[in-house]
Amino acid sequence: MTTDAGSESDVQKTEAQPSPPQHFPASGHGSPDTRHQYCTEGQSEGSSSELQQQHEDHYISQKSLSSRVSWSALGRSHRLKVMECKVTLLDGTDYTCTVEKRAKGQALFEKVCDHLNLLEKDYFGITYRDAEGQKNWLDSSKEIKKQISTGPCNFAFSVKFYPPDPAQLSEDITRYYLCLQLRDDVLSGRLPCSFATQAVLGSYTLQSELGDSDADTQGYISDVRLAPNQTKELEEKVLELHRSYKGMTPAEADMLFLENAKKLSMYGVDLHRAKDSEGVEIMLGVCSSGLLVYRDKLRINRFAWPKILKISYKRNNFYIKVRPGELEQFESTIGFKLPNHKAAKRLWKVCVEHHTFFRLVSPEAPPKRFLSLGSKFRYSGRTQAQTRRASAQIARAAPQFQRTASRRHTVTASMDSTPASVNHDDDVKNSKPAVATDDLIDTATPEKKAEEMNSVEEENKTNSDESEQAPPTSVTKYSFIKRIKGENVFVKHSNLMLEETDTPTELMQHQLNVSELKRSFLEMRCEASGVNEWDRRLSSSPRLCPRLDELSSVKPLVWSQEMSEEDKAEPEDVAVKPDHGVEQSEEPVKDVPVVQTETKTITYESSEVDANGDSDPGVLMSAQTITSESNSTTTTTHITKTVKDGISETHIEKMIVITGDTDIDHDQALAQAIKEAKEQHPDMSVTKVVVHKESEISPAEGDA
Amino acid sequence: MANIYPYGCFTHAVVRCIPESFGKLAEGGDGFQTDLAKAQRQMGVLTGALRQKVGLQLIEIPADSELPESWRIEDIAVIQGDTVLITRPFKQQRRLEAEAVRRVLNELNLTVVEMGDEEGGSGGATLEGSDVLFTGKEFFVGISKHTNHRGAEVLANTFKDFAVSTVPVCGGSRLKSICSMGGPNTIIISSSDGAKKTLRVMEQLTDHHYEILSVPEEVAANCIYIRGPAKVDYLLHPTAEECPNSIPAFQRLTDYTLLPTACSEASKLGGALSSYCLLINKKSNY
């Protein structure tokens, strides 16, 4: 999540250190000076004068904890301002370091990861508490100071993305930190589990931290916190199990811990309190597979990431737009009410980040056919692509580290344990008095010019946009539909599960033409894509066919995928614009009950495309076309150089045709194509991608 | 997590003999003449199959004519691993059936959790075992006439490791009337429109993928699947007489030992094969 050019360059950076990583406890022990010396030697940040500066900073800041330090006394040459940050680590200890006053979240994050000797950083993040006491993720691309505002610099290092398959992590130390986080999750109640599971997890914890069971273990166990309510019975069970693990290494114990923990239903689920459109209290859970909806601990709905087309928020409300189901024609938008605006934004951010991070994990199973026996599901085995690629490049020997008795998890240091669970916002009462259900669902989410808070629509924008659209038609016949606007049918969340799935024909016809489809390059995480880019790109809602100038200024977060049911000749439908790579793929056989051709066109556009429109094409200097072929791929590259306003621009247009059978994973192919394009032209950024998929039912090969 | 075996690993079965008053309080409606002797014979075949063919330890609770529906023991408890949740059936009279069942399960050293009565704080929660489908990986609770949301909540609180999802019961009176497990990863479901609707909801809510075996006759949707000691897959299913068109579907299950078991009398009362027994896995776990 946090790392961009990030993961790869970080690996290199660490490996290029003049001194090899020293052996030191994973937890933050050691005198400040020792630590500081390590930092000084190990990192190549800044000039030597800066380092000296920091040394002095550190000394002075030990005397006074004020974060504002002025250096007029030292002379005008060094006016660098720094601040001290305290980060609570996963084992409960605190790590204090200094960063520049205007440093971005990334800087702090890097320091902590270096301190922890952690290379697989993508799964982790830093949280801070806001004025309301709520935990927020520190945005790595924004200044720290701006995020924490006037609060103290108190942070916590936590797992942000729980890997669905921890066995695939490259390093044991990563698994160790994940275990620490999960132990805390069990203790705090964030991860409910049965007595039997608590016993099993506890036994692996003992094995990992203490090694083989011996006479002392019995006395030790009461000091270790293994469960929210730790009974004698539990301790006995833990000891019994522990005895059977003789010879198990700590790494093995951690692995088994994770194998058990990952199966728990609340593993990696980030809960947010909310209300559905009827005011019923629910919990929204964000996890690797999608968005879950709970009512009283019962799962009442689930939206897998691939099914979600758009995620947006407005004021206190959070919306998701989902693809129509098998028997539905319309996309639907579901709204939830959060306690306050901040909570809505927080939820939105978390969803977007999870969606991005895990979207490349595994493709959703093909539409489940309930009449067939014989699974078509194939887990591709790929995971968070870039992270894993970076992880695979980790070439160092497994770092030695000590699993110290975790302070957080011992009874004596119980002060450190983090309070339970969910973002509990007490602001529910303060939020606006009952917004009428109609208003809640109907709020239009219009396009907006790129702005930092792009995702929050102003009131006036709403009004002006509403007037542009067709007046809403209220349908009285079917009570579960409140309004129809444009292409969307807004449905009451609670009725979703029980509604009639055959939508009546009187409803406005869904526009099946390809509407503007934009998507930030999720694969392009290496392009400094922090969340702020999403802020700018997010727009809710392109309903109508876009005009090009709007296209360039508004960048929605998630794409809309629509299926058109007519046959379309492929090449004509591909939008040909400068700065894009075009990929087409084909699946010759697709098993669907109705014989038809399905065409999908998706357009992705990055934020780099500014309103360049087609205003001044410039002077064409040169043009070149190259064709290359491989087994299943044909690539046609068209390069044009133009001079515009004295600046030479090179446009590269690549048309990649991939033919093959259903085994091709298109997301992967797309990611691969983009990656290759970038590798070939590192100075350039891919600004637009149009994916055109045509799947034919008949075995006859269509045209590429 | 602990106690996670693929679905189907059972070592014991608990049944309750058919009482003399069988069929007297017809749930399914009037005019359903049930044949007591036939019902007892059919149960005998079932218990014989479980004991001799599959190889389970069978525990038989004596009949009680004061409790005409006590043979539907499935409703009284939900069991997973070492934990039993004694339910709170919709009908007041049925709650007395729990007593004998509780005793037996305690003797088996299982952890018994009570749903409790109204005063005990269950607050109007009702739950019947035949509305619960445990797939080995998660629970589906059918919200029906007999089982409400609060009852499902109690179940979720009892089995904390698992996701518990609520689904509407369409096309049948209980969840198990329209679907059941047919393998470690297989759900057998009726092909009626109502059942399809329930299935759609289940598929939406789950994180897992299941094979779906669709059967044309509703009665065929309820089967008992057990993976026997020698890793043999057993499926007890209604007979060809009861569901002729569904037999080919069962035969598609590769390497299964099919055990046709009649349940006509139970069906008349809205019950099914699975109603007859509680299945327990008493292997020493971990």
Nearest CB to B1; choose among A193, A302, A501: A193
What does the DSSP assignment read for B216-255? SSGGGG--EEEE-TTS-EEEEE--TTT-GGGHHHHHTSTT
Residue B33 has a pLDDT of: 81
**Closest residue in B to A201 (Cα–Cα):** B1
Residues of A within 8 A of B163 (CB-CB) are: 265, 299
pLDDT score at A491: 44
For residue A370, give the chain B residue with the closest CA: B212
Query: Smallest Cβ distance to B156: which of A297, A368, A372?
Result: A297
* CA pair distance A288, A305, nearest whole angstrom: 8
Q: Is the pLDDT of residue A134 over 80?
A: yes
Q: What share of chain B is helix, strand, coil (3-state, %, to 5)?
A: 35, 25, 40
CB contact under 8 A, B149 and A261: no
**Per-residue tokens: B240:** 């060809």
Chain A residues close to B153, C-beta within 8 Å: 296-298
pLDDT at B62 (0 to 100)? 94
Cβ distance B212 to A368 less than 8 Å, yes or no, reads: yes
Q: A264 to chain B: which residues are within 8 Å by CB?
A: 1, 161
* Encoded amino acid at B34, one letter: T
Nearest CA among B85, B22, B82 for reference residue B276: B22
Distance from CA of B4 to the nearest CA of A (A): 9
- pLDDT class of A22 with cuts at 50, 70, 90: very low
Taking CB atoms and an 8 Å limit, are A196 and B285 in contact across chains?
A: yes
> Which residue of A263, A369, A370 is in closest CB contact with B4?
A263
Neighbours of B193 (CB within 10 A): 9
pLDDT at A437 over 60: no
Identify whether the C-beta of residue A470 lies closer than 8 Å to the C-beta of residue A489: no
Alpha helices in A101-225 (DSSP H): 105-116, 144-148, 172-188, 195-210, 217-221
Per-residue pLDDT at B74: 96
Percent of chain B with pLDDT over 90: 81
pLDDT tens digits for B218-238? 999 999 999 988 889 999 999
Angle at B16 between CA B12 and CA B19, to 5 degrees: 165
- Nearest CB to B199: which of A302, A370, A375? A370
Q: Classify burial at A649, counting beta carbons within 10 Å of its beta carbon; exposed 0-12, middle 13-18, buried 19 or more.
A: middle
Within 8 A of B138 by CB-CB distance, chain A residues are 265
DSSP letter at A111? H
pLDDT at A233: 92
- pLDDT tens by residue, B240-270: 999 999 999 999 999 999 999 999 999 999 8
Which chain B residues are within 8 Å of A365, Cβ to Cβ? 209
pLDDT in tens, B84-111: 999 999 998 899 999 999 999 999 999 9
Question: Exposed (0-12), middle (13-18) or buried (19+): which is A392, by Cβ within 10 Å?
Answer: exposed
Chain B partners within 8 Å of A196 (Cβ): 1-3, 81-83, 285
Mutation to test the A interface, candidates B161, B187, B199, B256, most A Cβ within 10 Å: B161
Does B1 sit within 8 Å of A261, measured CB to CB?
yes
Compare CB distances from A299 to B150, B159, B165 and report the shortest one's residue.
B165
Q: Do B166 and A299 touch (CB under 8 A)?
A: yes
Token reading at A531: 């969340």
What residues in A contact B4, CB-CB < 8 Å? 263
Query: Mutate which of B1, B84, B140, B170 to disrupt the A interface (most A C-beta within 10 Å)?
Result: B1
Q: Is A299 a residue whose pLDDT tops 50?
A: yes
Nearest CA in chain B to A303: B204
pLDDT digits (tens, 9 = 90+) for A47-97: 444 444 444 444 444 444 444 444 444 444 456 788 889 999 999 999 999
- Closest residue by Cα to residue A398 from A26, A2, A7, A16: A26
Pick the residue from chain B with its C-alpha nearest to A244: B286
Of all helices (H) and strands (E), which one includes residue B100?
A: helix B98-107
* Chain A residues touching residue B207 (CB < 8 angstroms): 289, 302
Report CB contact under 8 Å: B2, A196: yes
- pLDDT higher than 50, residue A611: no
Beta-carbon separation of A301 and B205 below 8 A: yes
Polymer length in residues for chain A = 704
In contact, B184 and B6? CB cutoff 8 Å: yes
Q: Distance, in angstroms, between B146 CA and closest chain A CA?
A: 17
Nearest Cα to Cα of residue A3 among A386, A520, A396 = A386
Are B209 and A365 inside 8 Å of each other by CB?
yes
> How many A/B residue pairs have CB atoms within 8 Å?
112
Comparing alpha-carbon positions, the chain B residue that sits nearest to A368 is: B203
Which of A177-181, A390-394, A568-572 holds the top average pLDDT? A177-181
Asked whether the predicted pLDDT for residue A582 surpasses 50, the reply is no
Contact residues, chain A, for B204 at CB < 8 Å:
301-302, 325, 497
Q: Which long-range contacts (CB under 8 A, 24 or more apart) does A315-318 make?
A: A315/A341, A315/A344, A315/A456, A316/A340, A316/A341, A316/A343, A316/A344, A316/A431, A316/A432, A317/A344, A317/A440, A317/A443, A318/A274, A318/A284, A318/A344, A318/A347, A318/A348
Flag if A373 and B212 touch (Cβ within 8 Å): yes
Interface mutation vs chain B, best among A182, A263, A370, most B CBs within 10 Å = A370
Q: Give the residue on A whose Cα is nearest the Cα of B164.
A: A298
Cα distance between residue B30 and residue B276, in whole Å: 22
CB nearest to A192's CB, from B153, B160, B199: B160
pLDDT at position A685 is 62
pLDDT tens string A508-546:
333 332 223 333 333 333 333 333 333 333 333 333 333
pLDDT at B124: 86
Q: Kindly report the average pLDDT of chain A as a whole number.
A: 64
Its pTM stands at 0.63
CB contact under 8 A, B149 and A296: yes
Cβ–Cβ under 8 Å, residues A579 and A697 = no
Along chain B (286 residues), what's the average pLDDT of each consecutive run of 10 residues? Answer: 80 94 66 83 95 94 92 95 93 91 93 75 83 96 93 94 95 93 95 94 94 95 92 94 94 93 92 95 63
Of B83, B156, B200, the CB nearest to A298: B156
Of B197, B211, B214, the CB nearest to A375: B211
**What residues contact residue A197 under an 8 Å CB cut-off, 6+ apart?**
A260, A264, B1, B2, B3, B160, B161
Task: Give chain B positions within 8 Å (CB) of A295.
Answer: 149
Which of chain A's residues have a Cβ under 8 Å away from the Cβ of B167?
497
Higher pLDDT pick, A343 / A481: A343
Q: How far is A137 from chain B (nearest CA, A)?
A: 26
What residues of chain B lie within 8 A of the CB of A296, using their CB? Answer: 149-150, 153, 156
**pLDDT at res. A30:** 38
Which residues of chain A have a Cβ shorter than 8 Å from any chain B Cβ?
192-197, 199-200, 241, 244, 260-261, 263-265, 289, 295-302, 325-326, 365, 368-375, 377, 497-498, 501
Q: Which of A264, A372, A501 sits opposite B161 (nearest CB)?
A: A264
Distance from CA of B199 to the nearest CA of A (A): 8
- Among B164, B211, B286, the residue with its CB nearest the CB of A299 is B164
Using the structure block, give the residue that is written with the tokens 């590259």: A637
pLDDT of residue B123: 66
Candidates B149, B152, B160; nearest CB to A194:
B160
Rounded CA gap, A241 and B225, in Å?
A: 31
Q: Is A28 helix (H, G, I), strand (E, B) or coil?
A: coil
Q: Is the pLDDT of residue A381 over 60?
A: no
Q: Are B189 and A299 inside 8 Å of each other by CB?
A: no
Q: Which candidate in B150, B207, B253 is best for mutational testing of the A interface (most A CBs within 10 A)? A: B207
